[in-house]
Amino acid sequence: MYSEPAEGVLPRILPRYRPRIYQWALHLVSGLSFLHSHSVIFGDLRAETCWLSSPSLALSLVGFLDAGYRAATSGMQYNGGSMRDESFHPCHVSRFESVVPTMQTDLFLWGCLIYELMTSFWPRHERGRQRGEIKQMIVRREWPALEREYLGEIVRRCWEYGYQDIASLKRDLITFLMNEGWEMEGEDELSGVWADELFQEKNYYSSHDT
């Protein structure tokens, strides 16, 4: 699904698969919107916390191992956290922002996951950098480059904490997609993006390989 890496250039999702990433970006925003509307912080968004439904390939959030919330019965606040050993992570760099997960760190990690889906790499893992170097890149706000068509401008704004909340991110994402000529079906579905196209292509190559 990705281009071949070149010297100094990361792979990119192939153009014919990019609409599927756009679709998943919308699904992720919807999931976070639901959680944030109930004052729940997801905490550590990553590919392992996503589930694809069959046969539609709709993306859902699962796990909630690092969620932050206030218990309805006792009123106790649980701030969540992250057990993952990840350098490019807003909750692991104390000089950058609070180490306690917030709605803003959820948006930061949305940008990280979209970057990974677009390039096949979590940010700053493409060249085997040392942990300390990666953390300093966050402190200095040295963000990885990602082109506009790969949602690069929106991802960078998430890393810069440029969105007030998930609703402002959603508005920006939908505006980008509509400007690119896409039409919406409901809250988080793109018109004309069907999962069966992927399976048809897989079946085509499988039959020709034999």
Q: What are the pLDDT digits (tens) for 162-210?
A: 999 999 999 999 999 999 999 999 889 899 887 666 655 544 334 434 4
Please report whether residue 8 resides in a domain: no
Rounded distance between C-alpha atoms, residue 80 and residue 82, angstroms: 7
Per the structure, the complete domain to which residue 35 belongs is given by 21-205
What confidence category does residue 64 fall into, taking pLDDT thresholds of 50, 70 and 90?
confident
Q: Would you mind telling me the total number of residues written for the chain in this entry? A: 210
Predicted structure pTM score: 0.86
Residue closest to 177 by CA, chosen among 73, 26, 39: 26
Lowest mean per-residue pLDDT among 56-65, 90-99, 182-191: 90-99
pLDDT at 101 over 70: yes
Cis peptide before 5 (omega within 30 of 0): no
Number of domains in the chain: 1
Where residue 47 sits, what CATH number does that domain have?
1.10.510.10
Please report whether residue 11 resides in a domain: no
The pair phi, psi for residue 168, each rounded to 5°, is -70, -35
pLDDT at 35 over 80: yes
Q: Position 152: which residue type?
A: G
Please report whether residue 4 resides in a domain: no
